[in-house]
């Protein structure tokens, strides 16, 4: 939408930095910009911050450490969230990550927003990008008050699907190169009535793959999944377990009809899984469904093409970049696109694996004064398998928010930010960008 067209709509707010999407990347983008003094607003469709970690029910955030060594490679806001979850009594932490109560995480993130003076607008949907002379100058939004415009000097797209950049006309790619199909989606769920010590012993002594095979063979489970996926448990809720297991294939998360179909199917799968747990897993004989979350978890959709495209060779080769803004260390996690389990293109790294993430993948082509952060950044299908998880998304969000505020302070576009100055500011905020930073962070040095 052009600036002239947007003038036909009422203006809801005028801000320095507008962050669209309040998930892991959006929270960090908003906090970092607000802490630097920019008048910042996060627009979020749900009733909480945190995205998949809260509205999506995924009470586990990883990976904070270098593969196999336990050395922490991520700092800044991601590390702060982990520390404060534990201090607040909402979860537990080890070198790999955190497991937490979803409701506690909601409370914590809102407390951090309030402390930073970060504006929040829930129950609000993004509709269109407002452009002037090739630059983003705001967004059209829709909520109970009708359709309105939020005007902004800088915009950060943290929608996951790259909606803001897409509406600005930026180039993008979707899914695997052969046919554009994306990784399957998953509806998390939480169960109660679990004897966790017994379950843990069973997991050690017994291959859970045999549980799914037996359940399917005996007609008690459809063949939608064949691996354990993920469980998370916290001693603050000792009889409850969060579950990452459902799998719905061939879903386009930019289409409401697909999301509706996937949610209905995944909820059926979740209840089937509870019945399988009761029948086949010791310690879960009396388990029951507590909740399914507000939204289904999306692994892949649009990837907005930027000034650089991070590739699987960059990831696997542990490439270093002069414009590095954070590290990633998650394996190349590709779920089978056409069926259950993991895809053959998944890749497990060796000890010491980590790679740098460059600022340029946050800078979309074809528009000024907009950045992306989270899983919609500029990368290949396989590289996304590693970069899409929450820890690097938070770190990328912090870099995007910091860069947006810094560009305003210095009177330059988001694309033209002095990367050296950005890196210096990120380090002041506790970010880890280099091997020297890793050594200092793990020695407890400031």
Strand order in the sheet with 97-100: 60-62, 97-100, 91-93
Q: What is the pLDDT of residues 403-446, one digit of tens each?
A: 999 999 999 999 999 999 999 999 999 999 999 999 999 996 65
pLDDT for the residue numbered 5:
83
Q: Which helix (H) or strand (E) holds 166?
A: helix 163-167
pLDDT for the residue numbered 6:
79
Q: Coil, strand, or helix at residue 113?
A: helix
CA–CA separation, 304 vs 381, rounded Å?
12
Spatial contact of 249 and 338, defined as CB atoms under 8 Å apart: yes
Cα→Cα distances 97→78, 86, 228, 422, Å: 10, 11, 18, 26
Q: Residue 29 CA to chain centroid, in angstroms?
A: 12
Cα→Cα distances 127→122, 132, 167, Å: 15, 17, 9
Characterize the bridge pairing of strands 355-358 and 324-328: antiparallel
pLDDT for the residue numbered 446:
53
The residues with which 120 forms a beta bridge, in sequence order, are 42
CA–CA separation, 273 vs 245, rounded Å?
8
Burial of 260 (0-12, 13-18, 19+ CB in 10 A): exposed
For the question of whether the overall pTM of this predicted structure is more than 0.95, the answer is: yes
CA–CA separation, 64 vs 158, rounded Å?
21
Q: What's the token pair of residue 46? A: 């749900």
pLDDT for the residue numbered 445:
62
| Apex 246 CA angle, 181 and 341, nearest 5 | 60
Q: Please list the ranges in the chain whose pLDDT falls under 50.
A: none
State what percent of residues in the chain have pLDDT above 70. 99
pLDDT for the residue numbered 148:
98
Q: What is the pLDDT of residues 254-275, one digit of tens each?
A: 999 999 999 999 999 999 999 9
Cα→Cα distances 445→94, 325, 427, 442, Å: 19, 20, 12, 8
Q: What is the pLDDT of residues 9-46, one digit of tens each?
A: 999 999 999 999 999 999 999 999 999 999 999 999 99
CB 92: neighbour CB atoms within 10 A? Answer: 15
CA–CA separation, 404 vs 370, rounded Å?
8
| Apex 302 CA angle, 299 and 304, nearest 5 | 125
Domains of the chain are 3-176+302-442 (3.50.50.60), 189-291 (no CATH)
Closest C-alpha among 328, 202, 220, 322 to residue 273:
220
């Amino acid at each position: 939408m052009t600036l002239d067209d947007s003038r036909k709509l009422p203006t809801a707010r005028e801000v320095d930095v507008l962050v669209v999407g309040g998930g892991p990347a959006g929270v960090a983008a908003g906090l970092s910009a607000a802490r630097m003094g920019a008048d910042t607003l996060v627009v979020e469709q749900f009733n909480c911050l945190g995205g998949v970690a809260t509205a999506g029910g995924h009470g586990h955030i990883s990976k904070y450490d270098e593969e196999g060594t336990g050395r922490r490679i991520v700092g800044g806001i991601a590390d702060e969230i982990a520390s404060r979850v534990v201090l607040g009594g909402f979860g537990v932490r080890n070198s790999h990550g955190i497991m937490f109560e979803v409701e506690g995480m909601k409370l914590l993130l809102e407390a951090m927003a309030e402390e930073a003076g970060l504006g929040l607008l829930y129950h609000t949907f993004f509709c269109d990008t407002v452009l002037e002379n090739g630059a983003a100058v705001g967004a059209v939004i829709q909520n109970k008050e009708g359709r309105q415009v939020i005007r902004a000097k800088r915009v950060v797209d943290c929608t996951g699907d790259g909606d803001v950049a897409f509406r600005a006309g930026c180039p993008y790619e979707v899914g695997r190169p052969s046919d554009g199909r994306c990784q399957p989606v998953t509806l998390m769920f939480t169960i109660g009535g679990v004897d966790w010590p017994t379950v843990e012993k069973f997991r050690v002594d017994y291959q859970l793959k045999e549980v799914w095979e037996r359940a399917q063979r005996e007609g008690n489970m459809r063949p939608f999944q064949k691996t354990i996926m993920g469980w998370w448990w916290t001693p603050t809720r000792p009889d409850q377990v969060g579950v990452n297991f459902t799998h719905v294939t061939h879903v386009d998360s930019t289409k409401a009809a697909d999301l509706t179909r996937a949610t209905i199917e995944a909820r059926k799968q979740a209840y089937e899984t509870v019945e399988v747990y009761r029948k086949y897993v010791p310690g879960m004989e009396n388990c029951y469904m507590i909740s399914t979350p507000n939204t289904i978890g999306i692994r892949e959709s649009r990837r907005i093409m930027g000034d650089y495209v991070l590739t699987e060779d960059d990831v696997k080769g542990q490439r270093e970049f002069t414009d590095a803004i954070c590290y990633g260390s998650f394996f190349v996690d590709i779920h089978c696109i056409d069926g259950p389990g993991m895809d053959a293109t998944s890749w497990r790294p060796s000890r010491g694996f980590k790679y740098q993430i460059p600022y340029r993948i946050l800078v979309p082509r074809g528009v000024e004064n907009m950045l992306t952060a989270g899983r919609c950044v500029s990368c290949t299908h396989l590289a996304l398998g590693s970069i899409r998880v929450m820890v690097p998304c938070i770190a990328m969000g912090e870099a995007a928010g910091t860069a947006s505020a810094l560009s305003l302070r210095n009177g330059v576009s988001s694309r033209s930010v002095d990367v050296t100055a950005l890196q210096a500011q990120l380090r002041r905020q506790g970010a880890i960008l280099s091997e020297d930073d890793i050594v200092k962070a793990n020695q407890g040095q400031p």
